[in-house]
Amino acid sequence: MRMALQVAAFEFLRVFKIKDAVITLVLFVCGALFYAWISGEEKRVKAPISVLGDAIQLENADHLPFNFLPAGAQSEDKLREMAASGDGPPVLVVHSIEDVEFFVKDERPSWYPQLLGVIRDAQRVAAMRGSGLSEDALSQVFADRQVELEVHEPRNEAEDQKRESIAFLCVMAMMLGVFMGNVHLFTGITGEKQNRVTESVMSAIPAQTWIDGKLIGLSLVAIYGLLVIAVCWFVGNEVYGIFREKFVLPLEIVDPVQFVVVLALTSLGFVLWFAFFGAIAATIDDPNTSSRSMFMFLPMMTMIVAIPGLNEPDDAMFVFWSIFPATSSTCMPVRLVVADPAWWELALAIGLLLPAIWVLRRFAGKVFATAMLTHGTELGWLEIWRVFRRA
């Protein structure tokens, strides 16, 4: 165990650089200042529309992305000419209630469906007025009717959104940590194999001890990387808050016990994935040409199955994924934050995850011992299967 911890310390210190963390912090602060500069509090400019004709009554509203402007004494031809040259706004020509034209220079604007809805509402009102209905009758037609909503089990939508945000951050933290650790794992193992230093190292320490040290060290690297990003984000957010309204994470909904359990599951997930990728990396002879490098993207599958759980955490399939060892470290934290899983589900998830880690750790050690001494060729899948059976 002592030798494994020495290897873990070596792997961690090889990545741990205070200077890199400081540079990352400076970049986050500069990014926050730049974003505060470009995201001013300027109001959105509404698109003007020249309106010619008064057969229908068009009114401006705050929620609309355009404003109606009376055309005044200008002729229709002059307004069209100005709109076509870009010197004037689009033109809305109201010939009658049924005949309305909208003239724009080059392409239909994105807010055209909203404009169409406003025009049609105005046409209905004008048609009703033309039919002889009194103002009282019209007010009765367009009056808002009371509709009562009764919810049997009311939900706090604001709190649900906060929980979904925290759960999504848990998923992204897991993915980011795995990918950061995998980069160092693949480059380290394949580099050591290509530099032919494995024979010397394996003559001094057992292969299982070597891979155990790597798993511990790179798991700490992943946690350290997430911690650096978290600190940089919070500092950058505080700097941004000096000039603009800062972003607020709803951390108050996460209790300490829940945080510890999520951190433990995430750490176990790191060990599981790094054990698997350590075995794969050891079989690669040349990382530039090997097709096995695509296994690095396999954790993306856990994110794909975890995202639907943000809205349906108690779905039967998602409950299965939250217990299944390969996905439990990503999906169970989502259920812990968004829902309230039974204690036995959490116990079962951890009870299956720990033996899976033990098996993969043994498998990685056996493959590591064989593959790291194999040069010029890669172990075939049949050979890997034989090694797995011996694990």
The pLDDT value recorded for residue 43 is 47
- State how far the Cα of 283 lies from the Cα of 290, in Å rounded to an integer: 10
Q: Is residue 220 within 8 Å of 212, Cβ to Cβ?
A: no
The domain defined by 47-141 folds into D-Maltodextrin-Binding Protein; domain 2 (3.40.190)
The pLDDT value recorded for residue 142 is 67
Q: Can you list the residues of the chain whose pLDDT is less than 50?
A: 41-43
Closest by CA to 7, choosing from 176, 193, 220, is 220
* Phi, psi of 166, rounded to the nearest 5 degrees: -65, -40
Closest by CA to 207, choosing from 282, 268, 286, is 282
The pLDDT value recorded for residue 153 is 60
Closest by CA to 68, choosing from 86, 39, 93, 44, is 93
The pLDDT value recorded for residue 366 is 81
Q: Which residues pair with 360 in a beta bridge?
A: none
The pLDDT value recorded for residue 320 is 94
Summarize pLDDT for 154-205 with one digit per residue, the tens: 556 667 777 888 888 888 888 888 888 888 887 777 777 666 666 666 667 7
Dihedral angle sign, alpha carbons of residues 214, 220, 221, 223: positive
Dihedral angle sign, alpha carbons of residues 182, 330, 225, 245: positive
Domain ranges for the chain, please list them.
2-35+158-390, 47-141
Q: Which residue intervals of the chain are DSSP H helices?
A: 2-15, 18-38, 76-85, 112-130, 135-142, 157-194, 198-204, 207-243, 256-283, 300-306, 316-323, 325-338, 343-371, 381-390
Residue 52 DSSP symbol:
E
94 Cβ contact partners less than 8 Å away, ≥ 6 residues apart:
51, 52, 53, 54, 55, 56, 100
Q: Cα–Cα distances in Å, from 169 out to 226, 272, 366?
A: 11, 20, 35
Residue with tokens 């005949």: 99
pTM: 0.65
